[in-house]
């Protein structure tokens, strides 16, 4: 039976672990009870109280893989009234230093494998703790007898800042979104209730914990329900099922690219020999979600909640295929044309499910009611952009049917305008993902030499299978929901698609490369032409066309 939780802070949830001798936290080589986890968090809270200078912001940076130290320090921050800035290990040099300095971290918790990232960085007054060293263990030892609530840097309340997690963007420095103890505790309780999380469940965390996906959608509901947590230091497609079986995992979170990696592993007769009952995440796409359930016997529930907490959707049993859900209670969500501020028309569909009026139905999702967005750290300009006109603008594209169900159509950066018609990359991707010859697809805009955009797709073929343009053209012709503007003019063939540190496809890099890349590229000189290899002569002719229309600068190189 699902544990009922009325806790208003994460600190309360950590304190409730005290005395619980069931297995609570596992990784390869580590097994801790819930009580051990609470004791470990209390010891680290006491150490933190000693290390943070008086008057300094109670912020610590955590630059770790998914080791047990990560959730222990999250618990420590909650108990102490401090906040964790999750540091992305793919950041380098001045950018990484900027993340720490910007969030005013006076303590940095890391591990030996990440020490080279810190070499030569200017980190004034930052105390570095290296968790897998004797020095760290000796530093922590005097606090082994600490109890939860004993060491407090700042008084704990639902409004206490707990997370400063960086949101990715295509331009500018990442923004540190704020999340309070109250919001995280409420999110955990909501998801635990929605998915019927039980104390005997085990949540498998294989997405990086410096990102909101793992903390908000995986760790928090486990904590709220008293369930166990199992960690993978970094996502591994080949290690996924062995981990799930060994840990007895029942729930996991994902992003779409991780699902594609799992589907690309060789099929085995024992693919369904596990205890998983649910996966929850984003951007898997209807085709990949169906393939995943058919192969592994695990339903994937697509969710939506903006990283900053400004809008959320709730899936109900009557949610139609392809839709994410309706607005969560209390949210006043609308799909709005960002240029006019007017609400977009309801979506109309053909008998086969094709969106017929994308140019009028697709817009940006906004929350016109009271959004739980708590702001960005020291970034009033970005806050104002999110809250312009008194609404919360998500930066995500959606369309809405007559019944109020919302369908994800991509990020605002993923919008394409082809021959004066607005298209959404996610809609085209979901169609191309049906092709059995590929394991991954990304669709994005490249500039048209004259005006607007052209559609480009990056495809990752099934291993050992070359791209066959004739087969691809036949596949496109067979898709009755593929609009006339949707077929890619350029196709980039890649062994694997580039990803961000959070296992999302790195579309900004693909857009920046356009068709000027070392990979195999095919193209159609006109929409009616057949696909042919993009040769140096073709590139030269394209460059001339861009130059003739004063658009060469849009290629970026």
- DSSP class per residue in 425-458: HHHHHHHHTT-TTEEEEEEEEEE-SSSSEEEEEE
Q: What is the pLDDT of residue 168?
A: 60
Superfamily of domain 431-555 in the CATH hierarchy: ANL, C-terminal domain (3.30.300.30)
What residues contact 294, with CB distance under 8 A and at least 6 apart? none
Residue ranges per structural domain of the chain? 10-234, 313-414, 431-555
Q: Are 228 and 23 in contact (CB under 8 A)?
A: yes
Rounded Cα–Cα distance for residues 398 and 362 (Å): 6
Q: Are 185 and 12 in contact (CB under 8 A)?
A: yes
* Backbone torsions φ then ψ of 420, nearest 5 degrees: 70, 10
Rounded Cα–Cα distance for residues 499 and 503 (Å): 5
Q: Are 102 and 76 in contact (CB under 8 A)?
A: no
Q: What is the pLDDT of residue 408?
A: 85
Q: Which helix (H) or strand (E) holds 474?
A: helix 469-478
Q: What is the pLDDT of residue 172?
A: 58
Architecture in CATH for domain 313-414: Roll (2.30)
Q: What is the pLDDT of residue 2?
A: 43
Q: Are 15 and 8 in contact (CB under 8 A)?
A: no
**pTM for the full model?**
0.82
Provide the greatest CA pair distance for the chain. 74
Residues of the chain with pLDDT under 70: 1-5, 168-172, 420, 556-557
Q: Are 518 and 510 in contact (CB under 8 A)?
A: no
CA end-to-end distance (rounded Å), the chain: 59
Q: What is the pLDDT of residue 1?
A: 38
Using N-to-C axis directions, what is the helix angle for 256-263 and 237-247, rounded to 10°? 90
Query: Taking the mean position of all CA atoms in its chain, how far away is CA 156?
Result: 28
Using N-to-C axis directions, what is the helix angle for 34-51 and 69-80, rounded to 10°? 60
- DSSP class per residue in 25-94: EEETTEEEEHHHHHHHHHHHHHHHHHHSPTTS--EEEEE--S-THHHHHHHHHHHHT-EEEEPPTT--HH
Is 213 strand, coil or helix?
A: helix
Rounded Cα–Cα distance for residues 537 and 540 (Å): 5
Which residue, chain included where needed, has tokens 């229309």?
A: 549
What residues contact 276, with CB distance under 8 A and at least 6 apart? 204, 244, 249, 250, 251, 252, 296, 297, 298
Structure tokens that stand for 333 in this block: 């969500």
Superfamily of domain 10-234 in the CATH hierarchy: ANL, N-terminal domain (3.40.50.12780)
Rounded Cα–Cα distance for residues 84 and 48 (Å): 12
């Amino acid at each position: 039976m699902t544990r009922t939780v009325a806790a208003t802070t994460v600190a309360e949830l950590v304190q409730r672990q005290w005395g619980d001798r069931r297995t609570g936290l596992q990784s390869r080589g580590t097994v801790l009870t819930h009580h051990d986890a609470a004791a470990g968090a209390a010891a680290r809270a006491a150490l933190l109280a000693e290390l943070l200078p008086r008057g300094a912001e109670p912020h610590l940076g955590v630059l770790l893989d998914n080791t047990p130290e990560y959730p222990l320090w999250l618990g420590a921050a909650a108990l102490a009234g401090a906040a964790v800035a999750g540091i992305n290990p793919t950041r380098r040099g001045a950018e990484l230093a900027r993340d720490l300095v910007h969030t005013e971290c006076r303590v940095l918790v890391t591990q030996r494998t990440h020490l080279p990232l810190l070499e030569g960085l200017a980190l004034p007054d930052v105390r570095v703790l290296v968790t897998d060293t004797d020095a760290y263990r000796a530093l922590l030892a005097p606090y082994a007898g600490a109890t939860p609530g004993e060491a407090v840097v700042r008084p704990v309340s639902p409004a206490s800042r707990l997370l400063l997690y960086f949101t990715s963007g295509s331009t500018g420095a990442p923004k540190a979104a704020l999340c309070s103890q109250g919001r995280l505790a409420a999110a955990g309780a909501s998801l635990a209730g929605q998915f019927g999380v039980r104390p005997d469940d085990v949540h498998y965390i294989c997405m990086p914990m410096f990102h909101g996906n793992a903390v908000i959608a995986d760790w928090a509901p486990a904590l709220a329900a008293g369930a166990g947590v199992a960690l993978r230091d970094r996502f591994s497609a080949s290690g996924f099922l062995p981990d799930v079986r060994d840990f007895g995992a029942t729930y996991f979170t994902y992003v779409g690219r991780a699902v594609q990696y799992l589907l690309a592993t060789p099929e085995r007769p024992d693919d369904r020999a596990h205890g998983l009952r649910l996966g929850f995440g984003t951007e898997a796409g209807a085709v990949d979600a169906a393939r995943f359930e058919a192969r592994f016997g695990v339903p994937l529930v697509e969710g939506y909640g903006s990283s900053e907490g400004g809008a959320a959707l709730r899936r109900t049993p009557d949610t139609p295929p392809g839709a994410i859900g309706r607005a969560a209670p209390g949210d006043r969500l609308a799909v709005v044309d960002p240029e006019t501020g007017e609400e977009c028309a309801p979506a109309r569909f053909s008998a086969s499910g094709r969106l017929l009026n994308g140019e009028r139905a697709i817009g940006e999702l906004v929350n016109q009611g009271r959004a739980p967005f708590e702001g960005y750290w020291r970034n009033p300009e970005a806050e104002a952009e999110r809250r312009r006109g008194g609404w919360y603008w998500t930066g995500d594209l959606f369309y809405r049917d007559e019944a109020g169900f919302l369908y994800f159509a991509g990020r605002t950066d993923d919008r394409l305008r082809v021959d004066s018609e607005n298209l959404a990359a996610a809609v085209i991707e979901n169609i191309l993902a049906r092709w059995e010859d590929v394991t991954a697809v990304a669709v994005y805009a490249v500039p048209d030499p004259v005006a607007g955009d052209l559609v480009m797709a990056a495809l990752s073929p099934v291993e050992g299978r070359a791209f066959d343009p004739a087969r691809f053209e036949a596949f496109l012709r067979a898709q009755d929901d593929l609009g006339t503007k949707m077929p890619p003019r350029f196709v980039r063939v890649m062994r694997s698609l580039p990803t961000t540190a959070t296992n999302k496809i790195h579309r900004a890099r693909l857009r920046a490369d356009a068709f000027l890349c070392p990979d195999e590229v095919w193209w159609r000189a006109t929409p009616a032409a057949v696909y042919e290899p993009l040769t140096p002569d073709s590139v030269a002719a394209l460059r001339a066309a861009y130059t003739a229309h004063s658009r060469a600068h849009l290629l970026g190189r």
